[in-house]
Structure 1
């Protein structure tokens, strides 16, 4: 079904073929059945208990998680040999996206099935897998992930929790405090990171009833109020040596790779939340009348809806594209060692961070506009927009802040280039010989020809600006965080544009074509500004004038009637009473 799949980061220097990406239009019948089952579960079991969840009525979330386990919704990523369903990553996205209908429950579900369970799936010994995975698959046991500490958030390796081997060599004695731990109020199994002898960063499987494990009170949070978030306190906790996860001193391999998957799944959840918020806004806009007609008839409301839909489409497209790439790479390492699995997961670290940043910020845009469409009612707890707005905000902090992920993207690109895994330098050198040549005018704007050219030019602008920045700062570029952030933002916009474009070309959908035209017009304008701002910082004088002239030349594209397109898209969305692809 799929032709050659690009390697991680290659989208910046190579053009992918439409048939190489996975899209929701490629769903199998099993995928569609899975989506329906999850939606039915959320609508029939979870949403009726939403107020109890938000008020943290004891036992409600664990009971719902166990019900989810009975349906197989906790075991999609767990091998069949240990009671799981062992489905593809597309199925993981389908479950994650559709569970997002109740933010607090989705947070608990995601922490259990993702960062709580996957460390054992990918890095556990045979004995550990047999002992823990069947219970985690069924919901008999629930999981949490303990990395963050009061003094170390994004700088995870600065953790102060210590582990010391007992005199008899049978236990590691753990002491320390973990902060902001999701599911801490009811989890049975904790993936805990500590430093053996104060310096060897190591992962451990800790059980709730181990003596010395205790918990702080529930945090009073801005959003996702129904999820359990507490400190996990470790005081002389004796952890059997057989509960070391992976190798002593190699905990960072587990932590970083599990966070990679966490970022990918978070992007999927945000895409699902975008759809829900958009549908909620549209339904309200059709019911709310002002000046004698539904507000959905007003041009400014239609413009909001059209743009909300275009960003939702972009988020959905990139998440499923990434899922398809993950399935390919993980299929190649199936049944192999944890180290080989880790290497496979890491291949798309750049794309995971891109998914996380783009989708979380797209969601913030969509929920903000949802509140605006609701007007004053959107600011009250009586209506759903208020909770959506609060719940969305955490996603830019979860799984590494968006700022940290903006540093990860260029760092991974440069790392791949230095290792010879990504010929970035050759691409930049080739580009520098081409940028002075005149560009033929874009006269054929039928279909998505303009958008194809815009994406191609965006890649060249990004490579030119990034290349000049690396040339100027060399190894000191890691200290230039603003520059790295701009490079990341260009990469993010390019991946989102290309994912949307490839999907629309593959399907031939007229509606999707309109989404792409709206989104690429806005996204390319952002890249033009980023390139100008970056070049203004890394160059000066005649050199600066030359490169800024190149930017102006590349930016000369026919205008797009985004007002008309957004209006047309909105009318489809309004008729559908929600998102439609």
Structure 2
């Protein structure tokens, strides 16, 4: 095994372990670590977007599905659709970080193209890459990688949304055993209007779990497949979204994906990848929104001065920038962890398929965290963008109105944010029960700390970000205190207490995001000098300040919902101790520092 793999193995935390083990700044990957090859790929994608997509933004609002298909073909010719597909199937065979980078920078201009790209290159192609036989991969991946064919993913049904395994679509084996006949209805199928192939999930007989199939679609020879009209949607107007009806659609038995009854597992693992990539797809949309907003603020004069000079506007720009910066930090941190885990598994002899599958599955908690955080930050960003534009922001003639509408879907698809919140806590508890993450030991220590005598020594915060790093440690104790007590009290019935799960999830999400921001800044301050990172330090501190507030509020809700008497008093006192700053940050000063940089450069500059 290579030295690199040994080093990865030594330092690489398992999924969810960020909560109970310290992550060193030098061990995280940040956007400042992009290789020359990755920077070239980023420039290539940005050029494509600026040349082909940005000038046609207005067209995307007119339900121009042909335009989306045409630009998807061009993206295929550039190699972007096959960035993660192995080279032997005509893909670029790039690592997970580069795949994230392409999704990130190709998605910023319009949600319509972003959705088509994500549905095709992610959930439309990945199930074959990860679960397909050699014959299936040779037959389909080259066409999907190059844009000769487009893929879709048919899981959702009228009665099966978040409860994906409850689908009613049936697959019946023919008497000669050569094909399955699929009958049923799917809805909200992205790319349905121009796809050539769908990953379709159906139930065989009374199987407990659904099964996946690769189903070809040719409008000239529909084979029992018919499409509903294009859906009328709030946003993503030029993303083709239709119902798909199967009426005795014949699918050769060799087109079953993986094994019978494995469809639910395929669906969940495809969604894990989809979630972290959706987080990536929210990043450049934030950067571009901030850039549009600050350009307008610098040009718009009221009371004889540009509105960028007003503190109310500066506050918004600073908050938008801080969320974008931390979102980048967390997304690329997790992407590199996944890439490293894939490398380790390949070094240990796993196939590419198995390594990628297990690599992503390992960090399913982080994937759900990122999906929630990035989608909500994007919605807030576009909402504040409208506000900065004022009346013009509400007009369809300005870019903010469509950006806000397009952003809204990100909180729904790839599993609603509520489902993902409950998933990330549920998966963490399961990992603890399997012994993959030791929650019990640290939670017990926190319990002992609560009943012990608190230390009155003044900590040494002379080093850069020392207090912020100490605060992150204390916030982790809050989660262990709340979630640990909840697990002890409710055991397996914890999943019935959804509001408590949601509160715990918010604590978990804020810890991961805030820590990622602090680690990114710490790493860059050490190598580039703290004086070069003044605004970045301000953004990390600002994000953490809000995280502390959110965690305080949500933990209080959780504690009073299940604890009483002395236990409740003790936990609330612990919460007060764990969320207390020694040196309260000057939030107004932090915002001013960030805003001045954004305004001076007239763009998102980080």
Is the shorter-chain TM-score for this pair beyond 0.5, marking a shared fold? yes
Matches within 5 A, 1:476-555: 476-508=493-525, 509-555=533-579
Report the CA distance between 1:252 and its aligned residue. Answer: 1.4
Aligned partner (choices 283, 286, 294) of residue 274 of structure 1: 286
SS in 2 for 1:59: helix
**1:224 matched residue in structure 2:** 236
Are 2:565 and 1:566 aligned?
Answer: no
Provide the rounded CA distance (Å) in 1 between the counterparts of 2:281 and 2:379. Answer: 13
Provide the rounded CA distance (Å) in 2 between the counterparts of 1:416 and 1:463. Answer: 14
**2:530 matched residue in structure 1:** none
Pair 343,93 (structure 1): closer, same or farther in 2 beyond 3 Å: closer
Deviations for 1:314-339, whole angstroms, at most 9, x for unmatched residues? 11100000110010112233461755
SS in 2 for 1:333: helix
Report the CA distance between 1:447 and its aligned residue. Answer: 2.4
**1:367 matched residue in structure 2:** 382
**1:416 matched residue in structure 2:** 431
Report the CA distance between 1:218 and its aligned residue. Answer: 0.3
Matches within 5 A, 1:174-213: 174-199=182-207, 200-209=209-218, 210-213=222-225
Deviations for 1:47-84, whole angstroms, at most 9, x for unmatched residues? 22333333233522111111111111111110000000
Aligned length: 581
**2:528 matched residue in structure 1:** none
Are 2:123 and 1:110 aligned?
Answer: no
The answer to whether the Cα contact below 8 Å between 2:342 and 2:355 also exists between their aligned partners in 1 is no
Give the gaps of 5 or more residues in structure 2: 526-532
**2:309 matched residue in structure 1:** 297
Which shows bigger deviation, 287-296 or 204-213? Answer: 204-213
Are 2:308 and 1:323 aligned?
Answer: no
Deviations for 1:424-468, whole angstroms, at most 9, x for unmatched residues? 111111221223341444563662122111101000011001111
The answer to whether the Cα contact below 8 Å between 2:52 and 2:71 also exists between their aligned partners in 1 is yes
Provide the rounded CA distance (Å) in 2 between the counterparts of 1:53 and 1:173. Answer: 37
Matches within 5 A, 1:246-257: 246-257=258-269
SS in 2 for 1:433: helix
Provide the rounded CA distance (Å) in 2 between the counterparts of 1:142 and 1:271. Answer: 25
Provide the rounded CA distance (Å) in 1 between the counterparts of 2:371 and 2:560. Answer: 29
**2:412 matched residue in structure 1:** 397
SS in 2 for 1:248: coil
**1:38 matched residue in structure 2:** 45
Are 2:245 and 1:233 aligned?
Answer: yes
Report the CA distance between 1:534 and its aligned residue. Answer: 1.1
Give the gaps of 5 or more residues in structure 1: none
SS in 2 for 1:192: strand
| TM-score normalised by L of structure 1 | 0.98
The answer to whether the Cα contact below 8 Å between 2:343 and 2:355 also exists between their aligned partners in 1 is no
Provide the rounded CA distance (Å) in 2 between the counterparts of 1:521 and 1:337. Answer: 42
Aligned partner (choices 161, 166, 191) of residue 158 of structure 1: 166
The answer to whether the Cα contact below 8 Å between 2:425 and 2:504 also exists between their aligned partners in 1 is yes
Provide the rounded CA distance (Å) in 1 between the counterparts of 2:61 and 2:197. Answer: 23
Provide the rounded CA distance (Å) in 1 between the counterparts of 2:212 and 2:103. Answer: 25
SS in 2 for 1:141: coil
Segments ≥4 residues shifted beyond 6 Å = none
Deviations for 1:188-242, whole angstroms, at most 9, x for unmatched residues? 0100000011424100000112510110000000001110000111000000001
The answer to whether the Cα contact below 8 Å between 2:81 and 2:144 also exists between their aligned partners in 1 is yes
Report the CA distance between 1:267 and its aligned residue. Answer: 0.3
Aligned partner (choices 441, 460, 467) of residue 450 of structure 1: 467
Provide the rounded CA distance (Å) in 1 between the counterparts of 2:276 and 2:328. Answer: 12
Pair 342,61 (structure 1): closer, same or farther in 2 beyond 3 Å: same
**1:580 matched residue in structure 2:** 605
Are 2:90 and 1:66 aligned?
Answer: no
SS in 2 for 1:163: strand
Aligned partner (choices 444, 454, 461) of residue 438 of structure 1: 454
Which shows bigger deviation, 334-343 or 537-546? Answer: 334-343
The answer to whether the Cα contact below 8 Å between 1:215 and 1:230 also exists between their aligned partners in 2 is yes
SS in 2 for 1:113: helix
Provide the rounded CA distance (Å) in 2 between the counterparts of 1:56 and 1:188. Answer: 20
Report the CA distance between 1:365 and its aligned residue. Answer: 1.0
SS in 1 for 2:229: coil
Aligned partner (choices 119, 123, 126) of residue 131 of structure 2: 123
**1:173 matched residue in structure 2:** 181
Provide the rounded CA distance (Å) in 2 between the counterparts of 1:495 and 1:384. Answer: 31
